[in-house]
Structure 1
Amino acid sequence: MKCNADAIIFQKYSGMHLCKKHFIEDVERKVKLTIRKHFNIGKNETLAVALSGGKDSCVVLYIMHKIFSERRDLNIVAISVDEGIKGYREQSLEYAKELASSLGIEHIIRSFDDEYDTTLDDLTAKNRVLGACSYCGVLRKSILNKVALEIGATRLITGHNLDDEAQTILMNHLAGDVDRLVRLDPPREIEGMVLRAKPLRKIPEKEVALYALVNDIPVDFEICPYAHEALRGEVRDMLNGFETKHPGTKYSLLRGFDKMVKVLAADFPQANISQCRVCGQACNAEVCQACRLLGKG
């Protein structure tokens, strides 16, 4: 207990019961520490925030605005991607528009249809060998990077939370994919790629949702209809089971990763980056993964 007010959450991993005020302070303290330790935001920067309308992206935009709104030298721009998921994305984009408007933040929306002349629904209908997430992750990241470059962004901020990070780390361990592990925290800037920043990486998913609720942030809590296809779901369930029995497991995975990634980077240097001969985006092959998925290679 930090005070005599009624607690709204019990953090098993810390042993603390927190009231609304101290819960908000705890989340924002962790975010500020993460920014100072990992992202080194300087003067006169443009920060692009990936905004889907879901809880994670809305919370990270809200907190970034709260922390940096007094910094007149910083420019925050929200970027949303409409993948073309009928009955789902239209609603979440309305939440994204509402939040960006309420904060007075410039909001750019691009779609798969605009960029690729197709939608995610169309792509998955044509090819059921690859899951929807295989298309979505690659193509969405490509658009976000392209727009971030267009606006001169120095950072592309995403809403990845502790659960996301722990799941990704464990998935790469299980696959023995050390290259991908290192790419989670690239040791140097890459020309043509806007560096990612994940201010929520130490905030558990449930706490992100609670933060949105207690701050009345407009958020779409609906789950993507394609989410069940992802292998990540199995890893998520396994990790949640461990976390229930052994509170702090997710933090331990993240701490271990942070300690070893610099050592791994020495033995697994970043690949040389060139430009995709089709679209011109930065990649480590003749044709980028997005163009290959679209059959343009």
Structure 2
Amino acid sequence: MVGMKSKSGHPGDHKSEEQRSGGRSESCSFCQKPTVVRLREPNRSLCAEHFIQDCEERVKRAVEAEGMIAPGDRIAVGLSGGKDSTALLMILEKIFSSTDIELVAITIDEGISGYREETMAAAVELTRRLAIPQQIVSFCELFGRDLDSLLFRREKEACTVCGVLRRRALLEGARRAGATKIATGHNLDDEAQSVLMNVLRGDLPRLLQDTSSGYPECFIPRIKPLIPLSEKEIVIFLMVQGVFVDLPECPYAHTALRGEVREMLADLEFHHPGTREKLIHARNMVRERISGNFVGESTRGGNLITHCRICGEVCSSEICAVCRVLGDVANIT
């Protein structure tokens, strides 16, 4: 399992929640360089070099332990230009640069005025620096309208609408790139938040759904290599390498349930360390015991493998989520 203590004593062999050193003159537990991070479990201090190595090795072990990537895979990396996707592309490039694994960045242009321009520029610059091919897929191209116009009079549904359309756009970009897997930048915090959100919504099928397997050939399995790392660890990972992803927040973010759940989980994690890992572990245990009895069903009913009667895309109901969203927009506007 990711993060279990190893007898080797290497800093990459330990799962932990980071704490900043607070300016104290500590030395790295593995060399004499200054500490940038203190690990809570076990209680160790790491310099920048050993912390970078620790993050890379935890991701590598997760990929190997869960069989996320196979020889010859072509990985479509969802690259928004934000901190998580930036760290994901950097780590995967480092891990697989000397292998037969190919990486291609897929960047989605939702068309959010005053916000997306900066993040798009950051994504383009990163792929140029790493010499990784990039495909840009826009909402206007796929759906005929940008997100700003799609959200007319329904701003409170921004994250739901955007999420549905982004997933389709990412899938389309991955297909165009000939990808065999899609890697997204979900971190430990994101995954724990998603578990709790699905519980709060009472959406058992979505809670148990495993997007890494069990899909028909026209779908591309999704993997989440960054789950071993917390949001704070990712920020520090980038900062110690001189990568500052200080970009504006999405203007629609304040409307999301996720923001409330994020605050709730942060408070729980502070008072009860390990809460995030326990949530994810509990979800995984339930998945194993259910053995697919509910996985693939939606809260609206229906089977996993069917085709949308409007667009023909594989989905779990008569009309896919994308066509429902676009249909609702047409009715409003």
Q: Which has the higher contact order (CA 8 A, sep 6+)?
A: 1
| 1:223 is aligned to 2:255 | no
| 1:32 is aligned to 2:32 | no
Unaligned runs of 5+ in 2: 1-28, 297-302
| Letter paired with 1:77 | V
Partner in structure 2 of residue 97 of structure 1: 124
TM-score normalised over the length of structure 2: 0.83
Aligned counterpart for 1:76 among listed residues 90, 103, 106: 103
In terms of mean alpha carbon deviation, does 79-88 or 38-47 score higher?
38-47
Matches within 5 A, 1:1-297: 1-71=29-99, 73-128=100-155, 130-185=156-211, 187-217=213-243, 219-270=245-296, 271-295=303-327
- Percent same amino acid at aligned positions? 42
TM-score normalised over the length of structure 1: 0.93
- RMSD of aligned C-alpha atoms? 1.9
Change in Cα spacing, 1:243 to 1:32, as seen in structure 2 (3 Å) is same
Q: Which has the higher helix share?
A: 1
Change in Cα spacing, 1:224 to 1:265, as seen in structure 2 (3 Å) is farther
TM-aligned CA deviation for residue 216 of structure 1: 2.7
Deviations along 1:244-293, whole A, 9 cap, x unmatched? 11222112222222333221233324233122232232211222111110
| Letter paired with 1:155 | K
Change in Cα spacing, 1:52 to 1:175, as seen in structure 2 (3 Å) is same
C-alpha distance in 2 between matches for 1:212 and 1:269: 36
Change in Cα spacing, 1:96 to 1:186, as seen in structure 2 (3 Å) is closer
Q: Is the 8 A contact 1:99 1:218 kept in 2?
A: no
C-alpha distance in 1 between matches for 2:282 and 2:211: 13
| Letter paired with 1:180 | R
TM-aligned CA deviation for residue 220 of structure 1: 4.6
Give the number of equivalent residue pairs: 295
Deviations along 1:102-125, whole A, 9 cap, x unmatched? 111110001111111111111222
Unaligned runs of 5+ in 1: none
